[in-house]
Amino acid sequence: MIVLPGSHRAAGLVDDAALVRAMLEVEVAWARVLGTPLSLGDWVPVLDPVEVEAAGNPVLPLVSALRARVSSPVHTGLTSQDVLDSALMLLARGALERVSADLGRVGVALARLAGEHRSSVMAGRTLTQYAVPITFGLKAARWLAGVLDSLSELEVVARNLPAQCGGAAGTLSRVADPVASASAFAGHLGLVWPGMPWHTYRAPVTRLGDAVVRCCDALGVMAADLLTLGRPEIGEIREGFVQGRGGSSTMPHKRNPVLSVLVNSAALQAPGLGARLHLCAARAVDERPDGAWHAEWPALRALLELAVVAASQAAELVEGLEVHVDVMARRAREAAPELLAERGGGDDPGSYLGAAEVFVDEALKRWEGRDVR
C-alpha cells in the first residue's frame, strides 16, 4: 500500500534500506577510527524484524551481522544511539540536497512568473474578500521570498549536521583519545563534530525539523493560494495538464488540481511531525532516553520524506502552471468599485498598485543575487 502519494519521488532516500546502508556507512567510518578499514563491497545485510524488536532498535542486529562477516574489531566504543543518530544525519543530508535542488526549480519558475506578470493586474483579497488591486507578479514574488528563506535555512542546517559519538553514556570512556577519535569519525562521514555528544540534547534534530517544516509552510502557502485561484468560479490559474492525472473515479468531467492538493496536504502534516520532535526533545531524560528517542526516528524520517515529495511536486506544479491573465484583468475591472474604494473610487485598478512592481523587483534582485554554491 502506498501511504504517501508521491512516495516514489523519495525512493532510496529515507526508507528502511537507505537507513541500513547509512548505519553500515557509520560502522565503516568508526572502524577506520579503530584502525581496521573494512572492505564490504556492495554487501548490505537484511535485518530480521524480530531481532530488531528484541534489541529495541536496528543497530544490534546490524552489528551482529557485521561481526559475523568480518573478523576485525567493529563498533567497539560506540553505542546504538551513536550509530542511528549519525545515520539519520546522513539520510537528512541526502534529503536536504534533494529538497534544495527542487526548491531551486520552484524558485526559477516563480522568478519567471514574477517577471512576466509584474504588471498583470488582479484582485487582491483579504479575509476572503476583495481588498485592493495587486499583480500576479507580486503574488509570485511573495511565494519566491518564502522559497529563498527556506533555501537559506536549509543550507545552514545542511552545513552543520552533526555526528553523534558518545559511547554508553556520553563519555566515550572506552576510547583512548575520545575527542580526536570523535573528530576523525565525523570527518570520515562528512559531518560536523559539535564538541560533545548530544544523546539528550536534541537541538540538532529540532533545528533540522524546524527548517524542514518552514520549507513545507512556504510551499503550503503557495499551494493553498493556487487551490483558491484555481476554483472554477475564480479560474485565474490552472495546473498544467498531464495525461492520467487529476481524474475522478465517478465524475468524467473532473480535472482535479492533484499537485496543489498534495503540497497543501504536506504543509498540513509537517507541523505535527515537527512538534513531535520537540516533544521528544523535551523528554530526552537521563543519559539516554527511554522512549523519547525511539519516538523521534519515525517522525524525522516521515518529515524528511514529506518534504522531499512536496518539493518535487511543487516544482512540477509551478513549472507547468497556466496563468489566465485575461480572467484576472476582467475580474479586477468588474470589481473596480470595491478594489478602489480605499482611494475613493475609480474604474482603473491598474492605476492603484502602489509599490507592487518595486517589491517584485526587490524579490527578483534577491533571487538573482543568491549564493548558488
* C-alpha distances out from residue 342 to 36, 101, 334, 345, 352, Å: 75, 42, 16, 7, 10
Active site residue 7: no
Give pLDDT tens digits for 163-198. Answer: 999 999 999 999 889 999 999 999 999 999 999 999
Q: What share of the chain is helix, strand, coil (3-state, %, to 5)?
A: 60, 5, 35
Contact predicate 336/122, CB 8 Å: no
* C-alpha distances out from residue 176 to 26, 28, 77, 228, Å: 19, 19, 10, 62
Q: Which residue is catalytic, options 152, 248, 343, 351? A: 248
Digits of tens for pLDDT over the chain (373 positions)? 467 899 999 999 999 999 999 999 999 999 999 998 888 989 999 999 999 999 999 999 999 999 999 988 899 999 999 999 999 999 999 999 999 999 999 999 999 999 999 999 999 999 999 999 999 999 999 999 999 999 999 999 999 999 999 999 999 999 889 999 999 999 999 999 999 999 999 999 999 999 999 999 999 999 999 999 999 999 999 998 776 665 545 656 667 889 999 999 999 999 999 999 999 999 999 888 889 999 999 999 999 999 999 999 999 999 999 999 999 999 999 999 999 999 999 999 999 999 999 999 999 999 999 864 4
Q: Are strands 322-323 and 121-126 parallel, antiparallel or unpaired?
A: unpaired
3-state secondary structure of 270: helix
Cell output for 34: 579503530
Closest CA to 305 of 152, 95, 29, 73: 95
Please tell me the pTM assigned to this model. Answer: 0.93
Please tell me the predicted confidence (pLDDT) of residue 110: 98
Cell output for 326: 485575461
Cβ-in-10-Å burial (0-12, 13-18, 19+) of 312 comes to buried
Phi and psi, residue 323, nearest 5°:
-110, 120
Contact predicate 100/314, CB 8 Å: no
The rounded distance, in Å, linking the Cα atoms of 59 and 82 is: 10
Question: What is the overall mean pLDDT for the chain?
Answer: 94
* C-alpha distances out from residue 51 to 78, 122, 320, Å: 20, 61, 47
The rounded distance, in Å, linking the Cα atoms of 58 and 95 is: 21
* C-alpha distances out from residue 361 to 133, 156, 368, Å: 18, 26, 10
Q: Which residue is catalytic, options 32, 105, 255, 288? A: 288
Cell output for 364: 527578483
Active site residue 288: yes
What b/e sequence results for 317-356 when a residue is b if at least 16 CB atoms lie within 10 Å of its CB, and e otherwise? bbeebebbbebbbebbeebbeebbeeeeeeeebeebbeeb
H-helix segments, 230-291: 258-282
Cell output for 195: 564538541
Cell output for 279: 516533544
DSSP string, 228-250: HHTSTTT-SEEPPP-TTSS--SS
Cell 540534547: give the residue.
201
Phi and psi, residue 238, nearest 5°:
-155, 145
Give pLDDT tens digits for 18-38. Answer: 999 999 999 999 999 999 888
Please tell me the predicted confidence (pLDDT) of residue 1: 44
